[in-house]
Structure 1
C-alpha cells in the first residue's frame, strides 16, 4: 500500500543535491525527468537514450545515482536493466534506481542479488507521485534498497513454493514485504501498530528462518527478500 502524504513526510529525511545520470529512450519522459530533478536542486550530469551510453556516462561522471529505464534500443526488451547490472558488476555499489512499466523478474533478481544495497526498482506510475519518487531516489543514493510493492509481490510470488519462505508466518511475510520496500524498523512499527522491540523480534525470526546469521558485511534485509532467487 503506498504511503499517504503524511506518512511520507514523517519517513522522509532531508534531501541532499545529487549528481545524476539519466537513461531513458523516450525523449519527452527523459526531458520531463531532467526538469523535475533540476527543479528539486539536483544536477543531471548526463541524459542518454540507450544502454551502452548509460555505461559510458556512469564511468565518465561517477554519479551519486543512475536512473535507468528497462526497455531501450535496439531491441526494446531489457537493455537498460542489463546495462545497470553491467555497471554494478564493474563499479560495485553504484546506486541505481530502475524505472519501468514492467517487472522483469529474472533481471530484477540479478540486479538485487549482490546484496550491496543502493538499488531501487519502481514502476513508472510512481513518477507521477513526485515526492514519493524523489524520496526513493534520495534513499537509493544513500544506500537503501527501495522496491515497488508490485515488484516485491512478483519476486515473492515466485518463491512461495520454496521451503524457507513457507516457514514464515503471515506476519513475518508482511514485515518482509515492508523491509523490501525500504522501510525502517520505526516506519514498519508505525504501519503495523507494533512496538519497536516486537518488530525487531519478528525480523530476527525472518533472518533465522531464512538462514541469514548476523554478518555486518552483508545486507540481510535485502538477502531476506531475495533468498534463493535465481537458484
Structure 2
C-alpha cells in the first residue's frame, strides 16, 4: 500500500515549531518527521474502576499522548437515556424469567447501577458525559512501536479494558490527541461523573515528579487541558 505524504513548507526555521515538516500516512501508523506514531482508542471499559486506574499508562516509560474528550449531556437527555436503558434491561430480565432462565448477574448488576444513576441524576448529584479516550504512542522504528502498543494493551487488559487501533484513520486519531480540543475520531462513550473523574491523571494531591534525562530536559507527564465550552 502506498503511503500518502503531506508536506508542510515553512518560510523560516521558526515554522517548524508550529507543525511537522511532513507526515506519511499508513493504514495502522503515521511517520512524522522520521518518528513512527500510532493511535488507539479505548473502546472497552471495566465495570468498576478506582481513581487513577490509568496511572500505569500515564507513567509508562515511553512517549505517549493521552487525550480525554468530554462533553456534558443535558439533564433531560440524560434522564431519557437512562429511562430507555432501564426499560431495555428490565425487558431482558422479564424475558429471561418468562423462559425459566436463571438470572444473569451481569444484567442484574447493570440494572441496579442504572437505577442508582437515574436517581442521582434526578437529584442533580451526578451528571452524564459523552467521553472518548485516545492514546498515541511514538517510537523510532515500527518494531519498537509495535512493542510499546503491545505492552500498553497488556496493561489495560489487566484492568479489563480494551484498546482498538484507529485503522485507516490514523491521521484523525493523531489529530484527536493534539492539544487543540477537537475529536474527529470518536466514538464517544457515556460516562458518569465518578467514572470520568477516575480516568483523569489526578489521583493524589501531589504532582507527578519529573525526572531529567542526560541532556537536562524534563522527562515525564505533562497535563494539558482546553475548555471548549
TM-score with structure 2 setting the length: 0.26
More helix by share: 1
Q: Highest CA radius of gyration, 1 or 2?
A: 2
Q: Which has the higher contact order (CA 8 A, sep 6+)?
A: 2
TM-score with structure 1 setting the length: 0.25
More strand by share: 2
